[in-house]
Structure 1
Amino acid sequence: MNKQKALNLLGLAMRAGKLVTGEEMTVQKIRTQEVKLALVAENAGKNTRKKVKDKSAFYQVPFVDCFHSSELSQAIGRQRLVVGVLDSGFAKKIKELISS
């Protein structure tokens, strides 16, 4: 139930323009420390997951990989494996929903 609420919130963040999507754009925004939460599909390739996870760890950005690519894509309305949340409020609430 909370997982679905987190996905709904992700869709809301997308409509509000508070997301960056795609591996390269997300990694770029992690480097500039604009991303508050990085999400990677659990079925993404090993290299993609490692790259985003390592960048997130280095720049101390929370990292989540509990969603399937179809769930992420449906939530944001685009076919993506990597999503970065730019707003701290959205990021905090999504982390709370996932961890509970």
Structure 2
Amino acid sequence: MNKDKLLNALGLVSAANKLIYGIKLFEKIKENKISLVIIASDIGISQHKKIKNKCNFYNVPYYDNLINGIELSKSIGKTNIKIIGIQDQNFIKLILKNI
């Protein structure tokens, strides 16, 4: 895994407004509008279980323990972000290439 390229790719996704986080993420997963979820390694246990169960139920692939919350937040230009969802298939291909 190339962490720098992954973080840069996440920055591109954020700049293109194809990134969902927060409460909206759970809603978009239910609506089948999220194609990939990335979970920070330092997320709380209950939140990790909640998002994992939601992804498994709605058949959304997810990756966890790749980067921590500080790296994730910094790469997308936000603060205190632990979970993100990506909508665009082309950006997902870019991210998967760097994982």
Using the size of structure 1 for normalisation, the TM-score is: 0.90
Q: CA deviation at 1:14?
A: 0.5
Match of 1:49?
48
Rounded Cα–Cα distance in structure 1 between residues aligned with 2:93 and 2:56: 17
Match of 2:95?
94
Q: CA deviation at 1:70?
A: 0.6
How do 1:77-92 residues align onto structure 2 when only pairs under 5 Å count?
Answer: 77-79=77-79, 80-92=81-93
Unaligned runs of 5+ in 1: none
Rounded Cα–Cα distance in structure 1 between residues aligned with 2:83 and 2:7: 14
By percentage of residues, which structure has more helix?
1
Instruction: Specify the SS of the correspondent of 2:84.
Output: strand
- Report Cα offsets for 1:40-77 as digits up to 9, x if no partner: 11100011111111111111111011110011001001
Unaligned runs of 5+ in 2: none
Match of 1:19?
19
Identity %: 39
Q: Which runs of 4+ in 1 moved over 6 A?
A: none
Q: Is residue 32 of structure 2 the alignment partner of residue 33 of structure 1? A: yes
Q: CA RMSD in A?
A: 1.2
**Aligned pairs, how many?**
97
Rounded Cα–Cα distance in structure 1 between residues aligned with 2:56 and 2:75: 25
Structure 2: which amino acid aligns with 1:12?
L
- Report Cα offsets for 1:23-48 as digits up to 9, x if no partner: x2111111111111101111000111
